[in-house]
Chains A and B, each alone.
Chain A
């Protein structure tokens, strides 16, 4: 039988606020255990939560970016369960009235297909602390620094049909929340965590199969592996005459093995009720519009601009628009040199190569967009060739300075003066008897290919400074004259 996979995702996004959702404790990563856990975070008696405006603003930004309905009234509820890293005995979250309603994210697949993934809703909630299960004399260690860190949990509709689509969505979401500046996107530190709901059904049928949920995937690769493994397992179970149990599973990316959590670990009876400690959150149109005015240019908008304005391919435009800093950098380079394709080649080529080599990212690039734009302008106006430009670029990277300063200081200006080039060409022809004879002996339509040798010699003799276009013309003319 042919099977169809159905995937929905739940994503926890840690918001990049300075403080916790309900207290003034810092959310900075990596502090000593429990040094950022205040009386409120520890749920000491008599404490009360006070809601962080910035968490609300970031959630609304996300909602606007996915074209969602914004909940003008949203309500915090208590989700009750006992675990030592949840000191209150409940998680403060939203259920019936979330801050972000239905929206959508469009993803682009390898074959160029655009697919819409519907977002069911996104709600605000608090993160739990961390349990350390290393051996503390048979006890568990609890660090509550993370307790109360603001999260939005984003819930998709089951709109994805394979691991590729799920990963494309995950990457798109990552790019979106980092571009918005509402999340640092550091998956290794748990800033973005994916839960994957997977089920299978006979192809062509409508009813959804029983799903399982694989929790806390913190890399795109693990997500892909976990989905593929789970789909295979479900098909094996069903084809072997068995039934899928609705369960929560854990995937270990190091051992590549998944297992079901014991039912005791789940006990899903959360007895939600509205939190009496928090009043309803009410926002008006003016607030929403003020937030909308602060939205940065988003990847999809950058991409459209790059395709329309600079004539880039969909692929190049996708790569360059995937993060905001890179998109803005590229846009400035393209504007400054007036050639979008040349700018794209350099930002994705030389610049990316050096950034990679020095293990840094574009935010910290020693060459600014103005500097690179200035350099490309000098390629455009034939002051230097592309090869010389690479040397100028490296000098710029190491020593700073503008393209013009470096070109002047190092005497790299391209020779376009035909008299000077003719001189070099004559020299090369005079000292290459053998190659000249071969050229003359060749069929006229093969001669074009043989120019390469002479080109190389001329460029070498000029220190790379001769204008390649001018050299080709003069060489051809002089060599062909010898053949008559």
Chain B
């Protein structure tokens, strides 16, 4: 499966990546090459193979429902670009 220029632009937008116009053909080629590899994998007969969600042969450990975190707001917000009244401030998301 070969990607079009527009596919790459869409993927970049969804991932919030800004790429220069002249970079688009290069990405289109390399991403298409990756998909070609996936096509090759797809051709393998996997009838008797169970789908894998995780490469580790283990199951999730569970945590008891007990509060273990204390308020670290001051420290955590010390690295934020803008805070006010305990809130993180970000560029306005609705007009």
Contacts and interface: CB of A to CB of B under 8 A. Distances in A.
Given A279-B60, A282-B60, A34 B65 contact: no
Q: What is the interface residue range for chain A against chain B?
A: 35 or more
A50 B89 contact: no
A33 B85 contact: yes
A25 B93 contact: no
A56 interface: yes
Contact of B87 (A34, A80, A83): A34
Contact of A141 (B58, B67, B89, B94): B89
B29 to A, nearest CB: 21
A36 interface: yes
A34 B60 contact: no
B91 interface: yes
B40 to A, nearest CB: 20
Chain A facing B: main interface SS = loop
Interface stretch (A197-205, A269-277, A378-386, A430-438): A269-277
A155 B95 CA distance: 32
Interface in B48-95: 53-54, 56, 58-69, 71-73, 76-77, 82, 84-94
B60 A278 contact: yes
B87 A143 contact: yes
Nearest to A280: B53
A107 B89 CA distance: 45
Given A37-B73, A280-B53, A142 B90 contact: yes
Given A34-B86, A75-B53, A83-B93, 12 more contacts: A18-B67, A24-B67, A25-B69, A34-B77, A35-B71, A53-B65, A139-B82, A140-B89, A142-B88, A274-B53, A280-B54, A280-B59
* 10 interchain residue pairs of minimum CB distance: A24-B68, A141-B87, A54-B65, A53-B62, A33-B86, A38-B69, A279-B60, A282-B59, A142-B88, A84-B90
18 contacts: A18-B65, A18-B67, A19-B68, A25-B69, A36-B71, A38-B72, A51-B60, A51-B61, A55-B65, A80-B14, A131-B93, A138-B92, A139-B89, A139-B92, A140-B90, A267-B14, A279-B54, A281-B60
